[in-house]
Amino acid sequence: MDDKYSIKVPLFEGPLDLLLHLIKRDEVDIYDIPVARIAEQYLEYIEIMKDLNLDIAGEFLVMAATLTQIKSRMLLPPKEGEGELVDGVDPRAELIQRLIEYKKFKEAAQGLGEREEFWREVFVRQGKGAWEDSAEPPEEELFNFGLFDLLDAFKRVLSNMPADRFHEIGGAGVSVTDKINRILEMLEGAESLTFESLFEEDRTRGQMVVSLLAILELTRLKAIRIMQVEEFGTIRIMKAVTDDGV
């Protein structure tokens, strides 16, 4: 792995976006957030982002500290007659209010149809269909897709990796450039590939991180397109179609 290799991926999504992503994915009631579980998942994402050498804004770390503090306060025994409240106040109240206000702001902003350039070439499709037979899904069938969706998929790959392969030693020294070339080679003879299949040759967590860095770099260069059959579902990757049809 290239220890000094770092991809500067603009984080258009902040800590509140990550929390809303986790709440939506796990179908959690925003008014009754299970802080302990959400905090644990949040910290897992922070660790992955560190592995990828992504520039983590200070606000992500501040939110991590906030979640830890709320979790600690909720572990305090409530006073008699106060139920689960601490000193008569729900420790989550301020965070919940921030999330609700931000969610409204975000939905209004998305309604304007403004998307950052980095994600303009990343597509997700609603519902199952025959998109695999088409070079590009219809514009009206696309919906928003972001960095946290990719990290979701990466976490699933990590959790599904067989123990005997995950701990196998070998294949060291694979660079991001090597992996980029390998991914393009794999896509050359296929209309599309599953996200998981791009990690099948990896034998260590380090090699898997290199693969994800290569995917991010190819996305930044607009060399590939990423699609989903359904939200939070299987991710497929295909070679981008250029203006000259290549």
Confidence bin at 125 (pLDDT 50/70/90): very low
Confidence bin at 246 (pLDDT 50/70/90): very low
Distance between CA 106 and CA 109 in Å, rounded?
5
pLDDT over 80 (residue 83): no
Q: Which CA distances in Å does 241 have to 137, 222, 223?
A: 12, 9, 8
pLDDT over 80 (residue 226): yes
Distance between CA 109 and CA 102 in Å, rounded?
10
pLDDT at 37 (0 to 100): 94
pLDDT at 143 (0 to 100): 35
Distance between CA 55 and CA 48 in Å, rounded?
12
pLDDT at 48 (0 to 100): 87
Confidence bin at 1 (pLDDT 50/70/90): very low
Give the list of residues 6+ apart from residue 103 with CB closer than 8 angstroms, or none. 20, 30
pLDDT, tens digit (0-9, with 9 covering 90-100), for 171-218: 456 789 999 999 999 998 888 899 999 998 888 888 899 999 999 889
- List the beta bridge partners of residue 193: 237
Runs of H (alpha helix) within 119-239: 147-160, 163-166, 176-188, 205-220
117: helix, strand or coil:
helix
Half-sphere exposure of 33 (CA within 13 A, CB side): 30
The residue-averaged pLDDT of 121-130 equals 48
Question: pTM of the prediction?
Answer: 0.69
The per-residue pLDDT of the chain, averaged, comes to: 76
Q: What angle do CA 90, 94, 97 make, to 5 degrees?
A: 110
pLDDT, tens digit (0-9, with 9 covering 90-100), for 108-121: 776 655 555 555 55
Distance between CA 234 and CA 157 in Å, rounded?
11
pLDDT at 77 (0 to 100): 67
pLDDT over 60 (residue 30): yes
Q: When comparing pLDDT for 7 and 157, which is higher?
A: 157
Percent of the chain exceeding pLDDT 90 equals 30
Confidence bin at 22 (pLDDT 50/70/90): very high
Domain edges within the chain: 1-114, 115-246
Give the list of residues 6+ apart from residue 46 with CB closer than 8 angstroms, or none. 56, 60, 61, 64
pLDDT over 90 (residue 66): yes
Distance between CA 23 and CA 25 in Å, rounded?
6
pLDDT, tens digit (0-9, with 9 covering 90-100), for 133-181: 444 444 333 334 678 888 888 988 888 876 665 554 444 567 899 999 9
The residue-averaged pLDDT of 219-223 equals 87
Q: When comparing pLDDT for 161 and 8, which is higher?
A: 161
Distance between CA 77 and CA 68 in Å, rounded?
17
Distance between CA 243 and CA 141 in Å, rounded?
21
pLDDT over 80 (residue 40): yes
